[in-house]
Chains A and B, each alone.
Chain A
Amino acid sequence: MIRVLHRWPGLLAFALLVVLSLSGAALSVFPVAERITAPQAESGLTVATLVDRIHATYPGVEQIRRAPSGRITAYWFDQGTPGAAVIDPATGQGVVSADPNQLHRWLTNLHRSLFLGDGGRIAMALAAAAMLILALSGAALVARRVGGWKHWFAPLRGPLAGRLHVEIARIAVIGLTLSSVTALWMTASTFDLLPDDGATPAFPTEVSGEMGVALGQLALLVETPVTDLRELSFPYPDDATDVFTLKTDQGTGYLDQGTGALLTWADLGGWDRLSETIYMLHTGQGAATLGLVLGLMALGVPALAATGVLTWLAGRRGRPRIWGNQSAVRAETVLLVGSEGGSTWGFAATLHAALTQAGQSVHVASMSAFAPHRYTGAKRIIVLAATYGDGGAPASAKGFLDRLPAADSAPAAPLAVLGFGDRSFPAYCGFAKSVAAAAEAKGWPEFLPLDTINRQSPQDFARWGRALGQAMGIELELSHQPVHPVTQALTLISRRDYGAEVQAPTAILRFALPRSTLWQRLTGASFARFDAGDLINILPEGSTVPRSYSLASSRRDGFIEIVVKKHPGGLASTQLTALKPGQTVTAFLRRNPGFKPGRGRAPLILIGAGTGIGPLAGFVRGNARRRPIHLFFGMRRPDSDFLYDQEMPAWQDEGRLTRLVTAVSRGNRPEYVQDALRGDKAQAAQLIHNGARVMVCGGRGMATGVADALTEILAPSGLTPAVLKAEGRYVEDVY
């Protein structure tokens, strides 16, 4: 619901919001410029003195105004010709023309009405309302995404557009909320929808009838400091019934032009003061610095609009069409999907297609549409559930966990839950686990135990599919491609072999960069842009299910490098480790923004074993800025599978690698990489305490061991790996 509230106002008001924000940002400069250029009155200057000075220069003065910036303008008539100037209060003389700035006028009219009069004002007010809705719903979405308001500034992961969107929004949201609320107020005020105190006092019915009081004898002008002045109007020449009109920060009054006495006075009302404050907050007139800050925040809007639309398009692309969806009442198999960004829908579509092909009648719906009473023909219910943030329900599963316990009874058809998640997050598949637990509590029978898919792994999904097929008594081969990638043929240019002596044949494979089209280079698609830690998906011959490998190089290195260990019976690893220079493989790129060293100078602690060294070596090789890197590397035997043994000394000499700690598992003193970490307890704890970022790459067993070791190491300081993960300072790439 919140997402819908965020999406549609954003898309509909896109163009208007860009115009509003750019013109607003440009306008925010004017109050500052005026504040800087306007000659300011010396402290203690009274209105009487100022008026005397101006009157001496311009005897025909009619009106004197003071803007909140301190700029004083005088208007006069000289022999029937009107004149106006910005006045230097020290001399009473004009310094510059008082004509309104034409650019400012043009921008103002664009900003508030698109030059379209009242219709334009209403359109712009609607855009401001859209901005307010966007700001509030966006704030709620950010809070949900980072797992609560108190994590407002928590580091983010995910695709660049979405991350940029949130990064800009969580700073700009304050200013955008303020600007849109004040804009709506000002529009309401313009259209007379708000009460008006009418601070103008009744015009005096009786005046002295005399004229020509000396300006110095107007007591109120002598008492009023210039800083309080807003406007002073002189009586018409030769009209004895007219008066002086004085407006100050306190109110408005009339003064007799014969006696100088105050005839009537009206204080500024509460509504007027409120309206003035709101005007100031919106325009920055009288609060120039605030105005400039708001203007800067407004500059975020075009970027927010662009990244927002990109995120929306990516989500739309990610959600495939389901062909031949059966009705809920008739279907034998009901698929319920809890998806946030849309990728889980892709898996659901693959499963739906495979089951349909196997002769099943299948109904797919979002988990939010859970309607157990309708599943009359169902023999089984399958829940495919992603997780949002810290174990929360993803967008299409909202309300499921409220509706299930509230149902009279659990559906008779048994359940299988498949969770989708990322192991590097603390609440891995947290929502799927909640669903499974709620189902168990409700007494819902289960026909497959809870299973999980890490990082949209097609292998995990295919494996689960075989288990599902077995349980259903059918042959089920799920070949899922998370996106519809453009594959490219990569040519091997060199290989270095390790580990044969320790029965772990491993190769560092280096492929030539494929040629990129101009469009790919512009959009950074395919291999036109990649970094170490991104994933390369290899399609082995004879299979449509790709296998992921972490990249050990970035585009800048000029080649594509991976580390592959041959697994007995492994299709892809066997083919890859048998590859000869000049031969090709079919591959496509998948970004892995969650596993990047990130910017900044904080030290890195890289921990890896076996082929897990690949991306870590890539980080070290790319460390041109000489960020401190401490690498813990686990191998079997230094003379056999010490991957990158030739490069390591050079990297250390060049300062790319601060320290290398190796752990050797076969030999006189066998130890694993987590043991090496324990042996380095004091320094590791110190580094982490000082803000170091931990990156782990390797097998699941090693990752668990490292997490345990870190728990021990960090215990005295009160930190845990879970806390580090939540702060984005502990990331894993585990396979």
Chain B
Amino acid sequence: MKSLLATLALTTALTVPGYAMARPVTLTTTLNNYGGDGAYLALYVTDTSGAYVGSLWMAGSKSKYYKHLTDWYRATGGDTAQVDGITGASVGAGRSLEITLDLADALFDAGYTLHVDAAVEDMRDSPNEIAVPLTIEGASTLVRGRRYIASFAYDM
């Protein structure tokens, strides 16, 4: 269900030739113990020029708080249609978010970047916590976030 919807969400924004070629990719985001309430996380992709391509996941269900995911909000204008069907609960401090999506092969090694924006109530907004280029080689490499994310990796 998740993967199907995620693929659909991406296809609406992405017309990648040969889209039919896709593979399951697991995105694992582990938060550190920052001592606050559950974090809102937006996972999305930009292209070579830095332009927004599509969203992969939104952790956090209340759209009134999306403006604190500053970069994602700027890129989408806060359009909740971008995350329809790919929205889940916010992620508690010290917890992990693991999602598996069918991502088009064409997204890899083509200059696309995967971003994670984070925000926590009454604490600083942290746009662009993670920015990793999507490459086959970079899979399973742990990346540290700036403030809330202890580690992020995508595996396939």
Which partner residue on chain A sits nearest B144 by CB separation? A80
Does A82 make an interface contact (CB < 8 A)?
Answer: yes
What B residues does A80 contact at CB under 8 A?
Answer: 146
A189-B64, A192-B63, A198-B78 in contact; A100/B36 too (CB < 8 A)? yes
A118 surroundings in chain B (CB, below 8 A) = 61
Q: A192-B64, A196-B64, A198-B78 are in contact. Are A82 and B146 (CB under 8 A)?
A: yes
Q: Which of B27-69 contact A (CB under 8 A)?
A: 35-37, 50, 61-64, 67
Instruction: List A residues 69-119 near B (Cβ within 8 Å).
Output: 75, 77, 80, 82, 84, 99-100, 102, 105, 109, 117-118
| Bound CA span A200–B36, Å | 25
Q: For A77, give its contact among B50, B63, B146 (CB under 8 Å).
A: B146
Q: How many Å lie between the Cα of A190 and that of B62 in the bound state?
A: 7
B138 contacts chain A at the CB level, 8 A cutoff:
no
B2 within 8 A of A: no
Contact among A62, A102, A198, A203 for B35, CB-based, below 8 A: A102
Q: Are B78 and A109 in contact (CB under 8 A)?
A: no
Smallest beta-carbon distance B82→chain A, Å: 15
> Are B62 and A109 in touch, CB under 8 angstroms?
no
Residue of A nearest to B120 (CB): A100
Residue in chain A with minimal CB distance to B36? A100
User: Using a Cβ cutoff of 8 Å, how many contacts connect chains A and B?
Assistant: 40
Restricting to B76-109, which residues have a CB under 8 Å from any CB of A?
Answer: 77-78, 89
Docked CA distance A63–B124 (Å): 8
Flag if A191 contacts B78 (CB, 8 Å): no
Chain A min CB distance to B35 (Å): 6
Question: Chain B 99-132 against A: per-residue CB contact (8 Å), 1 yes, 0 no?
Answer: 0000000000000000000000011110010000
C-alpha gap A62/B36 in the complex (Å): 20
B67 contacts across to A, CB distance below 8 A: 200
Q: B interface, by DSSP: helix, strand, loop or mixed?
A: loop
Q: Are B123 and A100 in contact (CB under 8 A)?
A: yes
| B35 in contact with A99 (CB, 8 Å) | yes
A109 to B74 Cα, complex, angstroms: 29
Is B124 within 8 A of A62, CB to CB?
Answer: yes
A258 to chain B, nearest CB (A): 18
The answer for the CA separation of A189 and B62 in the assembled complex, in Å, is: 10
A202 close to chain B: CB less than 8 A: yes
* Contact (Cβ within 8 A) A200 B78: yes
Tell me if B36 and A82 are in contact (CB < 8 A).
no
Given A62-B124, A63-B125, A100-B35, A202-B64 contact (CB < 8 Å): no
- Extra contacts, 19 of them, besides A63-B125, A82-B146 (Cβ < 8 A), are A99-B35, A100-B36, A100-B123, A102-B35, A105-B36, A105-B37, A109-B37, A117-B89, A118-B61, A189-B64, A190-B62, A191-B62, A192-B62, A192-B64, A196-B64, A200-B67, A203-B74, A233-B70, A233-B125
Q: Would you mind naming 27 contact pairs between A and B with Cβ atoms under 8 Å apart? A: A63-B124, A63-B125, A82-B146, A82-B147, A84-B124, A99-B35, A100-B35, A100-B36, A100-B122, A100-B123, A105-B36, A105-B122, A109-B37, A117-B89, A189-B64, A190-B62, A191-B62, A192-B62, A192-B64, A196-B64, A198-B78, A200-B67, A200-B73, A200-B78, A202-B77, A233-B70, A241-B50
User: Top 7 closest A-B pairs, CB basis?
Assistant: A75-B124, A203-B74, A82-B147, A100-B122, A100-B36, A200-B67, A192-B63
